[in-house]
Amino acid sequence: MHQDLLIHTEAGVTTITFNRVEKKNSFTEAMYAQLTQALSAADADAATRVLVFQGDVTVFSAGNDIGDFLNNPPANEEAAVFQFLRALVGFSKPMLAAVCGPAVGIGTTLLLHCDLVYAGDNAAFSLPFVNLGLCPEAASSLLLPQMLGYHRAAEALLLGEPFMAEAALEVGLVNRVLPPTECNAYAQAQAKKLAAKPLASLVATKRLMKQGQQAATLQRIEQEGHTFGQLLRGPAAKEAFSAFMQKRRPDFSGC
């Protein structure tokens, strides 16, 4: 049976590998539920000291699986995607990501909650929410302006155009850019360094760095989710998704 997520723990490092390459590692509702469960288990498991997200050398994640998303839209704050986002925010141990190829939507916004991010030089980050008639999620409307500065965040969120690994490095979204074939291994090596350090100190340091921000982040996720739900039922989103499924350019002139 094919597994969309591969979860492996070794030497204190739990690695979650997105394993749906034929669908560009796009996320389904079932995957969000699995991810939430995996994060909760790793946070509670003494054998896990560090967590790593990784994809394939050709693609990190294309974001939501559009077909699954349209069949299972997030109905309320208990939807699987929102449970996953809250688990990301609440994860107490170091969290790393290795990103190669496209990182679209949630594929980029989940990185805002990671502590260290390494990118292949083929990484392409994009936040096309407005282009789909929607709004940002995962508290990216709060965290991106803090990280990138307002004008660069506005460029990323309002235009929704991809930006490459070197640009992500310049603005601090990623820590280092490497050849794609070396990216996952480098993230694993960094994770093992962290796993050898005292866990109580790692957890305390992360908590202190994020102190005062967690409540605001969770509040923004809730606000974004409410607005997202309203826009999802609106004419612009309907046109955007119809155009996507019909492989044509959307016409927002009436929206």
Task: Work out the pLDDT band at 98, boundaries 50, 70, 90.
Answer: very high
The answer on pLDDT for 2 being more than 80 is no
Task: Work out the pLDDT band at 254, boundaries 50, 70, 90.
Answer: confident
Residue 76 has which token pair?
Answer: 């309320």
The answer on pLDDT for 106 being more than 70 is yes
User: Residue type at 142?
Assistant: L
pLDDT of residue 72: 87
pLDDT of residue 241: 92
Closest to 12 in 3D by CA, of 36, 44, 39, 47: 47
Identify which has the larger pLDDT, 75 or 198: 198
pLDDT of residue 44: 98
The answer on pLDDT for 1 being more than 60 is no
pLDDT digits (tens, 9 = 90+) for 209-251: 999 899 999 999 999 999 999 999 999 999 999 998 899 999 9
> For the chain, what is the mean pLDDT?
96
pLDDT digits (tens, 9 = 90+) for 170-191: 999 999 999 999 999 999 999 9
pTM score: 0.95
User: Residue type at 175?
Assistant: N
DSSP one-letter string for the chain:
---SEEEEEETTEEEEEE--GGGTT-B-HHHHHHHHHHHHHHHH-TT-SEEEEE--SS-SB-SB-HHHHHHS---STTSHHHHHHHHHHH--S-EEEEE-SEEETHHHHGGGG-SEEEEETT-EEE--TGGGT----TTHHHHHHHHH-HHHHHIIIII---EEHHHHHHHTS-SEEE-HHHHHHHHHHHHHHHHTS-HHHHHHHHHHHHTTTHHHHHHHHHHHHHHHHHHHTSHHHHHHHHHHHHTS----TT-
pLDDT digits (tens, 9 = 90+) for 139-148: 999 999 999 9
Q: Which are the contacts of 217, defined by CB distance < 8 A and separation ≥ 6?
A: 89, 139, 142, 143
Give the integer Cα–Cα distance in Å for 254 and 250. 11
pLDDT of residue 212: 87
